[in-house]
Amino acid sequence: MLHVSKVARVPGGPVRLLSRFYSAPTLKETFGAQVPRLADEVRSFKKEHGKTVIDHVTLEQAYGGMRGIKSMVWEGSVLDPEEGIRFRGLTIPEVKKKLPLSAGGEPLPEGLFWLLLTGEIPSEEQVRQLSADLAARSELPEHVSATLDQLPRDLHPMAQFSIAVTALESESKFAKAYARGVNKSEYWDYTFEDSLDLLGKLPLIASKIYRNVFKDGKLGKVDLTADYGANLSSLLGFANEDFVDLMRLYLTIHSDHEGGNVSAHTTHLVGSALSSPYLSLAAGLNGLAGPLHGRANQEVLEWLFKLRDAVGGDYSRSTIEKYLWDTLNSGRVIPGYGHAVLRKTDPRYTAQREFAQRHFPDYELFKLVSTIYEVAPGVLTKHGKTKNPWPNVDSHSGVLLQYYGLTEASFYTVLFGVSRAFGVLPQLITDRAVGMSIERPKSFSTEKYRQLVALCEKR
């Protein structure tokens, strides 16, 4: 077993933990109290309006990645094409106003998790309580540590991440309860426990991968009195308080982006078969590892470095414009630009840009990213293919990590994956609380679609 530190730090800022009894309701008590009403609401909503037509589907959508078809339920967030993400109705700036913040003014992923699951704003005490709960669940079983130690160093960090989360299935309380034949009404409870256990263990898994692949393999200990972002940072080997704040912001804004994206949808889909949260999240992580999805943050950095080498210090708009055209003309995408839903600059990009402006406005790579932001939308618009010429979240995240010395780009999607768990697990718990069905859309062969299209066009 990996050990966690028993030494308490001196309580300090708003996110330091005090060893005392908590009086406010816990997250589980808060959500548990909502469950009967939630399940009832969904039941009666379906009963009253179940036959109402809410969308129509074109052939183009069937072949086009089911883009835009309204057919999923996702409580935590809704994505507006123009405005971007709202977490339980709150924009990112509103989240920063309402959720308890760190001393450096950044939101904590624990607070966001509470908001996503319950729709309620937790108090500082409740966030501290949740931080302590997650830290207390952090130990890794020996076989997971040993598995990670045995993996080849050149196996991509995301593959290692997925293997470790899958191996944690041995700990699943849900799987054991299911095998015992537990009543359906209790599924959410075991899913909740697994989800918190899993979240608690992710910092050690991610850091172990990082330290094994890129450093000396040595790992620090979890501090039971520190919040999630602080523990993740120190386990990775970063002590700078601004970096810790970056981690808190990063983990908060990468968490949830409604349900249809590959990682969220996959987690939900696999979970709908009543696979445990471990197996469901591992499946989602495998999707996040794709270059058109989460791995775009790695691609952006690699592309930026090639650009830097190619232009030899000339960051003029005309040189960058030429490099953008060269990328497009060689049949590649501009990584970090475009989006399946968004049609404006991603507010997660803006939040990261503002962080850079506050902390290191003169950093060379930040200036380069800013110039690309001035030039790329025009080039992509002229190119005329993408429906959205604006930057997405992945366009900025790597540069922030580079500044603080986390330079290994192939690790970046692992951090995205840790954050994504904060968004997809609340929905998995909710799915079990309201008894969502196993997912099973209808597919046709092209031949069958030809017959259907002929029939529809005759009408």
Instruction: Pick from 388, 402, 419, 430 the residue near ligand COA by CB under 6 A.
Output: 388
- In single-letter form, the type of residue at position 1 comes to M
* Cβ proximity to ligand COA, 206 vs 380, nearer residue: 380
| 420 near ligand COA, judged by CB under 6 A | no
Q: Is 413 in the site for ligand COA (CB under 6 A)?
A: no
| CA separation for the pair 432, 435 (Å, rounded) | 5
DSSP, collapsed to helix, strand or coil, labels residue 86 as strand
Interaction between residue 412 and ligand COA (CB under 6 A) = no
Beta bridge partners of 391: 337
Q: Does the protein bind ligand COA through residue 61 (CB under 6 A)?
A: no
Helix (H, G, I), strand (E, B) or coil at 87: strand
Q: Is 292 in the site for ligand COA (CB under 6 A)?
A: yes
Q: What distance in Å separates the CA atoms of residue 88 and residue 69, rounded to the nearest whole number?
A: 21
- Given the DSSP bridges, would you call strands 4-5 and 222-223 parallel, antiparallel or unpaired? parallel
Q: Check binding of 382 to ligand COA (CB under 6 A).
A: no
Identified catalytic residue from 257, 265, 268, 293 = 293
Distance of alpha carbon 459 from alpha carbon 450, whole angstroms: 15
Question: Which amino acid is residue 32, in one-letter code?
Answer: G
> By C-beta, is 167 or 342 nearer to ligand COA?
342
The only residue of 61, 370, 371, 386 in contact with ligand COA, by rule CB under 6 A: 386
Per-residue exposure over 422-447, b if at least 16 CB sit within 10 Å of its own CB, e if not: bbbbbbbbbbbbbebeeeeeeeeeee
Q: Is residue 257 flagged as an active site residue?
A: no
Q: Of the ranges 100-108, 118-126, 357-365, 380-388, which one interacts with ligand COA (CB under 6 A)?
A: 380-388
Q: Three-class SS of residue 304?
A: helix
Interface mask toward ligand COA for 316-335; x: CB under 6 A: ------------x----xxx
Q: Is 293 an annotated catalytic residue?
A: yes
In the list 191, 392, 427, 430, the residue contacting ligand COA (rule: CB under 6 A) is 392
Told to check if 385 binds ligand COA by CB under 6 A, we report yes
Interaction of residue 208 with ligand COA, rule CB under 6 A? no
Residue 226: how many CB atoms within 10 A of its CB?
A: 22
Does 24 bind ligand COA (CB under 6 A)? Our answer is: no
Alpha-helical runs (H) found in 215-359: 228-236, 241-253, 262-272, 277-288, 296-311, 317-329, 347-359
Q: Under the rule (CB under 6 A), what is the footprint of ligand COA?
A: 292, 296, 328, 333-340, 385-388, 392-394
Give catalytic residues, as residue numbers: 293, 339, 394
